[in-house]
Structures are given as C-alpha cells and as structure tokens.
Chains A and B, each alone.
Chain A
Amino acid sequence: QVQLQVSGPGLVKPSETLSLTCTVSGYSIRNGYYWGWIRQPPGKGLEWIGTVYHSGSTFYNPSLKSRVTISVDTSKNQFSLKLTSVAAADTAVYYCARDGSGSASGWFDPWGQGALVTVSS
C-alpha cells in the first residue's frame, strides 16, 4: 500500500523559501509513476503546483513556475518542493500525491496527509 508523508517547517517568513519533502513508502519511486504537489489555502480550493518523474523531468503550473523547483531523490524515495520569495498568499496546506494515470497529466491517488505552512514574520 502506497503511503506519502509530507515533512517540513510549518512557519516561513515572507520573502524566504518554503521547503517541503514527501517521503514515499510501499512503492519505489524509481519504478515509475509521476509525483505531484498540490496546495490548498485555508477554506479555499485546490491548486496544482507541479509534477516530477523519477528521471527528474518536471512540469509546473505557469502561475508559480518562476518560483517553484520540484526535485526527486530516488535513493531516499523522496521528492521535494521549494517555493521561493513566499508571501502571505502562499499560506496553505501543501499535499503530495502520486499521479495515478502513469502520465504527467493525470489524476492524483493516493495523497499524503498534507502539511500546513504559514507565511508570517
């Protein structure tokens, strides 16, 4: 059974970099599938951030592309998110998930539990 767990700081100062890691268990990232990050501001809807393959190929939401880097570490079975120059609008629950379609543009299943990241000084 595939499980995903998000970890990282819950508080980030404005203009700094948000860094989160998603650890995958029950499946080896190098065996395939794409892996994604999605966020949800408090009380609001979902926004796709980006997706990565075990080879390192990435796909980003154009609205965030200039500030986002998603990378993968197959040796640790993890993938990571970095979002630079954060502002209050980046406060959200950040989820990691597997792209269940086997392509980079699919549906997400399963999801990690999510981590609330607050941007505040």
Chain B
Amino acid sequence: EIVLTQSPATLSLSPGERATLSCRASQSVSSYLAWYQQKPGQAPRLLIYDASNRATGIPPRFSGSGSGTDFTLTISSLEPEDFAVYYCQQRGSWPLTFGGGTKVEIK
C-alpha cells in the first residue's frame, strides 16, 4: 500500500498570502495524484487531478505540480473561503489511498 505523507500538518497564513502544501508518496505514483478541499461538515471537493489538472470550476489560484513521489498544491493568494483541510489521493496503485491532510488556518 502506498503511504501519502502530507506536510505541514497545519499551515497558519493570512488572506492574500501564498500557500504551499506538500504530499510525498512512499513509492512512485507517476502523475496519478489528486487534491481535495474539505470544509467542516462538508464532503471533500476535487481541486486537482493527475497532479496538475484543475477540476471543473476550480479557480486558477489553485495549481498542482510534481510527479513520481513529490507533489505540491499551491494556492497563489489565499481567499477567506480557502481556509480548510486539504487531502491528496493517489491512484497509481491499488488500494487507492489518501494523505492525512493539511489544515490551512487563518493566522
């Protein structure tokens, strides 16, 4: 099973700042990595699939990069609605697995 390690666990930033979230896989998943945003009491929402492709309706301030074992989700300028928990998920190998999450909180 591929283990995804997300860092940092918590990111304290102010609106307008740039957020950089990391996801590291225990073995290569090629570019088969997705990112989700989850707000309290809500289901996760797909942001990025296959490392760098924005899902439908996702604003361009969200971008993904990486391949192999190291991936990054960047939010170029945080909006108030971006404070949430972010998860990565790999589909390079069965079983599908998720990272433990990064909470982006208001500083």
Contact A46 B87 (CB under 8 A): yes
A62 within 8 A of B: yes
Residues of A within 8 A of B91 (CB): 101, 105-107
Residues of A within 8 A of B98 (CB): 45-48
A74-121 with Cβ < 8 A to chain B: 95, 97, 100-101, 105-114
A33 within 8 A of B: no
Q: DSSP majority for the B interface?
A: loop
Residues of A within 8 A of B13 (CB): none
Residues of B within 8 A of A105 (CB): 32, 91, 94, 96
The interface size bin for chain A is 20 to 34
A31 within 8 A of B: no
Q: DSSP majority for the A interface?
A: loop
Q: In angstroms, how far is the closest chain B Cβ from the Cβ of A112?
A: 7
Residues of A within 8 A of B1 (CB): 62
Contact B46 A48 (CB under 8 A): no
Known: A100-B46, A109-B46, A111-B43. A61 touches B95 (CB 8 A): yes
Contact B43 A112 (CB under 8 A): yes
Residues of A within 8 A of B49 (CB): 100-101, 106-107, 109
Residues of A within 8 A of B97 (CB): 48
Find A107's partner among B42, B89, B100 (CB 8 Å cutoff): B89
Contact A113 B43 (CB under 8 A): yes
A interface footprint on B84-107 (CB within 8 Å = 1, 0 otherwise): 000101010011111111000000
Contact A108 B99 (CB under 8 A): no
Contact B45 A48 (CB under 8 A): no
Subset of 6 A-B contacts with CB under 8 Å? A45-B87, A46-B87, A95-B43, A101-B49, A109-B55, A111-B44
Query: Closest 5 interchain pairs by CB?
Result: A109-B46, A111-B43, A107-B34, A46-B98, A48-B96
- A: residues with CB less than 8 A from B are 45-48, 59, 61-63, 95, 97, 100-101, 105-114
